[in-house]
Copies of this chain bind each other. A is one copy, B any other.
Amino acid sequence: MASPAVSSRARLIQASPIRKLTPLADAAKKRGIEVFHLNIGQPDIPTPSDYWDAMSRRTPQVLAYGPSVGIPELRQGICSYYRRAGIDVQPANVMVTSGGSEAVIFAMMAVCDDGGEVVCFEPFYTNYNGFATMAGVKLVPVSSRVEDGFHLPPDEAIEKVINDRTRAILICNPNNPTGTVLTAGELDRLAGICTRRNLFLLADEVYRDFTFDGRVHKSTLELAGMEDRVIVMDSISKRFSSCGARLGNIVCRNAEAMDGMGRFGQARLCPPTLAQYGAAYMYENLHEEYFADVARTYQNRRDVLVSELEGVEGVFFLKPEGAFYATIRIPVDDSDRFAAWMLDEFSFDRMTTMVAPAAGFYATPGLGTDEIRIAYVLKEDNMRTALAVLREGLKAYPGRKVR
């Protein structure tokens, strides 16, 4: 008898468009080519030494399970972080998760059953697709455009796709993959729609400390009257350059939703124990200066991106406002092919640049095929070189196409 069939979700879940070209990059490296990684949001900022120190002070005899919702120190530390930003959050509103990833899937599962729908704005963080497939949730895209700096489309475009299966609107602010920071006015519009249509607002705010040009991030936690509707998904991965710690959290004032997510958490027992001591220490002790310093670093790299790519023929984007991403239009037939070609066939002075094709960040077929996502996570000098190499690649690419 044949093998048993795997599930549809196992067959259909996407391969990460950020990681799928990695075998080509590995092959290029084997050929002696230096590859600049602008494809993945892995910061090169050192993890604060406070993290390691705090953990080593707490090394236990037995590395035991912790509380399902996280250790009290860390939940308290997250409240302190918000209090410094003028946002009142209590430990009961905070649940620690295994990475921001688990926060997203818990939130999706808390608001949707199988077949439930969540409205999101494409391009969006591609892994939302994976979580949605796993959870049986349908992501319903509303397109935003590079010409608008990927700011929100009009209310009508959003309300048009809302139906009786819709449970939530999902945003990422500051945005991965576009670097867009929503204005207070845009957030108010979303609050209005969620209230009129009785929806949750799921907000991925992992990049909230990284805003540029004096912008102040407004959290969905600050939206008056939305206390029962907002679920914030967060993480220490980018905030404290600790991607490998796998610590995220949920912030939510809706007691019923928190209770359900808390029981999701009981099923998987607990997030990593020891790392939470490190995270708690960072939340209590790294303050405005730390964040200002990191944001300035990213802003300088953003400036390098702008100065190296602005005015290049066929390249178009508006100045990114936060996070450390930009989604830019490039003069190619197909950015999937271009990104592969850069690794497979192109090199300049034995160097090449790896980017993420943008189609994987769109849900509507055909969109994003002339766009790429760039993560500006390298030091300024390396950024400059990587982007010069990218420019050379754009010139030499056989499928070059200026629209």
Contacts and interface: CB of A to CB of B under 8 A. Distances in A.
A49 B66 CA distance: 20
Interface string A180-208: 00000000000000010011100000000
A215 interface: no
Interface string A352-379: 0000000000000000000000000000
A245 B272 contact: yes
Interface in A44-75: 44-47, 51-52, 56, 59-66, 68
A280 B361 CA distance: 35
A58 to B, nearest CB: 11
Interface in A253-312: 254, 256-257, 259-261, 263-264, 266-275
Interface residues of A, number: 87
A42 B65 contact: yes
Contacts of A56: 56
Contacts of A217: none
B229 A4 contact: yes
B136 A10 contact: no
Given A59-B52, A272-B246, A272-B275, A101 B4 contact: no
Interface in A4-23: 4, 6-11, 13-16, 19
A47 B273 CA distance: 13
Contacts of A155: none
Given A246-B271, A268-B102, A261 B3 contact: no
Number of copies: 2
A130 interface: yes
A45 B62 contact: yes
Nearest to A41: B65
Interface in A107-151: 109-116, 127, 129-131, 133-136
A43 interface: yes
B267 A134 contact: yes
A112 B136 CA distance: 11
A106 to B, nearest CB: 9
A270 B237 CA distance: 12
B167 A4 contact: yes
Given A46-B62, A244-B274, A15 B264 contact: no
A369 to B, nearest CB: 22
A9 B106 CA distance: 11
Contacts of A246: 98, 246, 270-273
A99 interface: yes
Given A10-B256, A127-B268, 10 more contacts: A4-B228, A6-B257, A15-B266, A63-B244, A98-B246, A101-B269, A109-B134, A244-B270, A244-B273, A246-B272
Interface of A: 1-4, 6-11, 13-16, 19, 40, 42-47, 51-52, 56, 59-66, 68, 98-99, 101-102, 105, 109-116, 127, 129-131, 133-136, 167-168, 195, 198-200, 228-229, 241-246, 254, 256-257, 259-261, 263-264, 266-275
5 contacts: A4-B228, A6-B111, A10-B263, A40-B65, A127-B267
